[in-house]
């Protein structure tokens, strides 16, 4: 009978590969990789030329049994992911579980795992912590997950993709309230950064990053319309402390980015206007969200003609006023 080795690989810096990891990969009969193209770069760097097979979340259910058969037949397998330790927010659990069921020895090598250096560098308590991985992309599931953590006292660790960071931070602020956070990115790489701040400030930090990206693409921020369903949506923006009204019900200033030309208007008052960048405020499926769930008076609905074949038809029309090139909910 063979053996399964679970081998961590660098999360960014090639020099973080261990001597033992290189030896195991060279001696393995075959190597299972999350993405063979990505792993080929690493293997070539260390002059490793064993059989390389694809093993990722989209095919692992189909490949596990064949891998187990080969190991039971006396072959040694090594499992790697694109970066870090396999099975930690990456494929690997199913294979390890099946090997254990079949009495196959599993050896996991110590090595790179992104959340460990991130936790230590954060400056937050490391004696007790919980790892939550990636939150669900479903708004309902994400909210329920965060609600289950409202009383959690340990340091919580999450993974998130850069393009989803703003959405996740806003969800955390809404459910968990304002608290200390650390944003860790580009671990072990040249531009590694750790930003220690509060959750509300982190939202602004993420917004600033978007402006940086726009600048990198040689694009300038033009007039921005914050589109609300109700007038009090603008009041909520002001009460957050992140915005200040210049002219109530019209011009509004970002405290962090005062140079931006921002206007707040309701869906009704914005009819007929055109903006390249439109941000829908409070775009939630709630009573006072956008679209609003408040039902019109039945008598009023009887006398007003309009297309009701589509849910929230009038609201959808308001959400895309004439001339709007791009609308993004928040």
Each of the 330 residues of the chain gets a pLDDT tens digit; together they read 899 999 999 998 999 999 999 999 999 999 999 999 999 999 999 999 999 999 998 988 899 999 999 999 999 999 999 999 999 998 899 999 999 999 999 999 999 999 999 999 998 899 999 999 999 999 999 999 999 999 998 999 999 998 888 889 888 888 887 788 899 999 998 889 898 877 556 656 766 776 787 788 888 877 878 787 778 777 767 766 677 888 776 788 888 888 888 888 888 888 778 887 777 776 655 555 666 655 555 554 555 555 544 454 444 444 444 444 444 545
pTM above 0.85, yes or no: no
Model pLDDT, residue 195: 86
**Phi–psi pair at 37, nearest 5 degrees:** -70, -45
Model pLDDT, residue 323: 45
Model pLDDT, residue 282: 65
The strand pairing partners of 134, in sequence order, are: 159
CA distance linking residue 142 with residue 140, whole number of Å:
5
Model pLDDT, residue 216: 84
Tally the C-alpha atoms within 13 A of residue 112's C-alpha that lie toward its C-beta. Answer: 21
Helix, strand or coil for residue 100? helix
Domains of the chain are 3-108 (3.40.1010.10), 115-216 (3.30.950.10), 224-329 (no CATH)
Is the distance from CB of 242 to CB of 254 less than 8 angstroms? Answer: yes
Cβ-proximal residues to 174 (8 Å cutoff; 6+ apart), any chain: none
Tokens (6 digits) for 161: 């993709």
Tokens (6 digits) for 247: 């002219």
Is the distance from CB of 271 to CB of 277 less than 8 angstroms? Answer: no
Model pLDDT, residue 147: 95
**Phi–psi pair at 51, nearest 5 degrees:** -65, 130
Model pLDDT, residue 3: 96
Closest CA to 82 of 48, 118, 101, 57: 57
Tokens (6 digits) for 177: 């309230």
């Amino acid at each position: 009978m063979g053996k399964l080795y679970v081998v961590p690989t660098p999360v960014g810096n090639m020099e973080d590969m261990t001597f033992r990891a290189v030896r195991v990969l060279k001696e393995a009969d075959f190597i299972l990789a999350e993405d063979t193209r990505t792993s080929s770069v690493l293997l070539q760097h260390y002059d490793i030329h064993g059989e390389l097979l694809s093993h990722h979340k989209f095919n692992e259910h189909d490949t596990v049994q064949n891998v187990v058969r080969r190991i039971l037949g006396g072959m040694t397998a090594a499992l790697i992911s694109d970066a870090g330790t396999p099975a930690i927010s990456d494929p690997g659990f199913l294979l390890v579980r099946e090997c254990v069921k079949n009495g196959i020895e599993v050896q996991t090598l110590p090595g790179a795992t992104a959340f460990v250096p991130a936790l230590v560098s954060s400056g937050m308590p490391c004696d007790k912590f919980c790892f939550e991985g990636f939150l669900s992309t479903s708004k309902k599931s994400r909210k329920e997950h965060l609600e289950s953590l409202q009383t959690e006292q340990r340091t919580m660790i999450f993974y998130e993709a850069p393009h989803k960071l703003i959405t996740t931070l806003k969800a955390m602020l809404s459910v968990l309230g304002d608290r200390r956070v650390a944003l860790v990115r580009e671990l072990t790489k040249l531009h590694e950064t750790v930003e220690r701040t509060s959750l509300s400030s982190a939202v602004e930090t993420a917004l600033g990053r978007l402006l940086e990206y726009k600048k990198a693409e040689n694009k300038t921020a033009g007039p921005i319309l914050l589109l609300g369903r109700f007038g009090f949506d603008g009041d909520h923006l002001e009460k957050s402390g992140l915005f200040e009204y210049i002219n109530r019900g019209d011009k509004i200033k970002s405290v962090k980015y005062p140079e931006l030309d921002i206007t707040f208007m309701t869906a009704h008052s914005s009819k007929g206007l055109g903006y390249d960048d439109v941000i829908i405020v409070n775009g939630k499926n709630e009573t006072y969200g956008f679209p609003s769930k408040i039902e019109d008076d039945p008598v009023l609905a009887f006398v007003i003609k309009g297309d009701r074949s589509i849910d929230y038809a009038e609201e959808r029309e308001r959400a895309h006023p004439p001339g709007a090139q791009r609308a993004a909910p928040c």
